[in-house]
Structure 1
Amino acid sequence: MISTRGTRHCFFIGLAMKRLAALASRLDCGEPTRAVAILHRAETATEKAESQAKAFGSYDPSALAYHEGQVRHALGDRTAAVTALQESGRLRESVYRRTRVRYGALLAERKLELGRLDEACADWHQVLDDYPHVQSGRCDDRVQEMLRLIRPHRGTAAARLLEQRARDVVRART
């Protein structure tokens, strides 16, 4: 087995992401300090590994930003969570449509939690642009969740337009 700093960094990043995902689901059990420490270690390892990426590959920066968003949200820092999810979307390769649908919908949900309805609707419209091109139960779930979440906001033109478009897109798929 060849052991190099680059491969060790990539290995650590992968482990750190698994630990972050596990901690994000348990943050209500007194783990927030540990989660932030792991997040910082993963970021540092990513920076070190990127310099060796050509030789050894690297962890996807959009995935790291996504996990940061999940941890920040679980810690209650919803604004930082939205910022991280936006960065994740910016860094994601355009060929990953299914991921764009799922995580774009999550970003819209997080923005709605912050009361940023117009931004959430804009993000959901982007989700609907990609949705017809994917076959995924998880994506179907995200669109159904969007319809549920937007229902109370039907009094606004943005929500009504989004709801009608979503219903049309869903109907066209069946």
Structure 2
Amino acid sequence: MGRGKIAIKRIDNSTNRQVTFSKRRSGLLKKAKELAILCDAQVGVTVFSSTGKLIWKLQYDSMKSIIDRYNKQKDQEHHLLMNPASGAKFWQREATVLRQQLQHLQELHRQFMGEQLSGLEIDELKSLENQLEMSLKNVQTKKDQILTDEIKELQHKVYIFKNSVSDLAM
């Protein structure tokens, strides 16, 4: 049985409010920890009680470095909004970086397709060959899995069909 929905509003009963605060705080911290570990993210959580008391602080990097990074990002965004000329320069730099990344990806794609290999060193060719072999193995494994799943599904359908035919014969 699922849980019922609750209205998101202040809980009037102070005991219930404290219990909910405690449980939800632990859930929040658990999720923050998982996010930091699974996604290699910088996470900082600070929780103050309704009285203003610092209850818990979670950090996987220096909390000061997280706050400094946040403030720096906020200042950059504010500066871009207030100064259109620097905003235009920022976006021009971003466009240049994206163009360079696109060119690099296109070059890699051509190399994967066997084109433009003449300028590569032997180590680069070996690395490319290893990458292609790993990709081929992954494709073959995926194909085998799909075929296996389809065979199982067809066998199941045959089984169901045979059972329905034998039921009709009786």
Q: TM-score range by the shorter chain?
A: under 0.3
Q: Which has the larger radius of gyration?
A: 2
- TM-score, with structure 1 as normaliser: 0.23
Bigger helix fraction = 1
Structure with the largest fraction of strand: 2
Q: Which has the higher contact order (CA 8 A, sep 6+)?
A: 1
